[in-house]
Amino acid sequence: MAVIGIMSALHEELAAVLADMPDEQRVVVAGRDFWVGQWQGYAVVAVLSRIGKVAAATTATVMLERFGVDALVFTGVAGGLGPGVSVGDVVVASGLVQHDMDASPLFPRHEVPLYGRALFEADAALSAQLAEAAQQVLQSAEWHLGPDTLAQFQLSSPKVHQGLIVSGDRFVSTNAESQALCQALPDALAVEMEGAAVAQVCWDYGVPFAAVRTISDRADDAAHADFNRFIREVASRYSRAILSQWLAK
């Protein structure tokens, strides 16, 4: 039976997934808790990615080497960069770039040395399935979140986007930095801190990878009104619902 790896960036998301896994067993490797069990009839290994590219790459490597997962799906939150990518929207990666990779002048900016590429593509079929699942969940966002949460976060008709996600070891929280990112990588829809590293590890092992991110902020000067509440009441509910909808297919 194929084994699906789920890496969550947030405790709340992992907790929501584990609540649906009736018989999971904890296996500790490299100081991380890997939860091995079943979800909706699939063999699943779920783990907290940890934050930043190196921590997430280590977690991904263990997923592939020790648990032999056949596909890896990453869920978490991200800052919106592209025009029209708003808080409460979902971005499914078509490909990922490390925005802080720069070995110029030895290699072009963003290119990962010795790979001859900056972009690591997400698996097209897996990403299309997840985008469709996200579309279905967001169509009934009110049902998943409740009207009060929708109003509190001013989430009117949230959208699903598919495109470039960029990753780096910085939480982007100023207008200047987000503008610089948009200038350097004009196609970028969202920024986070792990995805491109995990995509590179999956590329090395030839294992399909996909990333689904809920937009929690616009990576600008405006601090999110209530980040923790957003994670709990929006992002973790979306990711559990999207993964569950995807597995139900």
Q: What are the Cα distances from residue 240, in Å, to 6, 13, 27, 109, 207? A: 11, 7, 22, 36, 22
Binding flag, residue 172, ligand ADE (CB under 6 A): yes
Nearer to ligand ADE, 37 or 168 (CB): 168
Binding flag, residue 95, ligand ADE (CB under 6 A): no
Binding flag, residue 205, ligand ADE (CB under 6 A): no
Return the residue of 42, 107, 171, 203 that touches ligand ADE, per CB under 6 A.
Answer: 171
Least Å distance, CB 77 to ligand ADE, is: 4
Pure H helices in the chain: 11-18, 53-65, 124-139, 141-145, 147-152, 175-184, 195-205, 227-230, 236-248
Q: How many CA atoms lie within 13 A of 35 on its CB side?
A: 21
Considering all CA atoms of the chain, what is the largest pairwise distance in Å, rounded to the nearest integer?
53
Binding flag, residue 191, ligand ADE (CB under 6 A): yes
Provide the annotated active-site residues: 13, 217
Least Å distance, CB 200 to ligand ADE, is: 17
- Which is nearest to 43 in space by CA: 65, 8, 68? 68
Binding flag, residue 185, ligand ADE (CB under 6 A): no
Quote the CA–CA distance of 60 and 79 in Å, as a whole number: 22
The contact mask relative to ligand ADE for 112-141 (x = CB under 6 A, - = no) is ------------------------------
Q: Which residue is nearest to ligand ADE (CB)?
A: 79
Quote the CA–CA distance of 79 and 177 in Å, as a whole number: 12
Least Å distance, CB 181 to ligand ADE, is: 9
Binding flag, residue 217, ligand ADE (CB under 6 A): yes
Residue type present at position 222:
A
Could you tell me how many residues of this chain bind ligand ADE (CB under 6 A)? 12
Q: Tell me the two tokens of residue 167.
A: 């990753």
Return the residue of 16, 18, 77, 199 that touches ligand ADE, per CB under 6 A.
Answer: 77
Q: Tell me the two tokens of residue 154.
A: 């001013």
Binding flag, residue 216, ligand ADE (CB under 6 A): yes
Binding flag, residue 79, ligand ADE (CB under 6 A): yes
Q: What are the Cα distances from residue 164, in Å, to 118, 180, 182, 191, 209? A: 12, 16, 11, 9, 14
Contact positions vs ligand ADE (CB under 6 A): 77-79, 171-173, 191-193, 216-217, 219
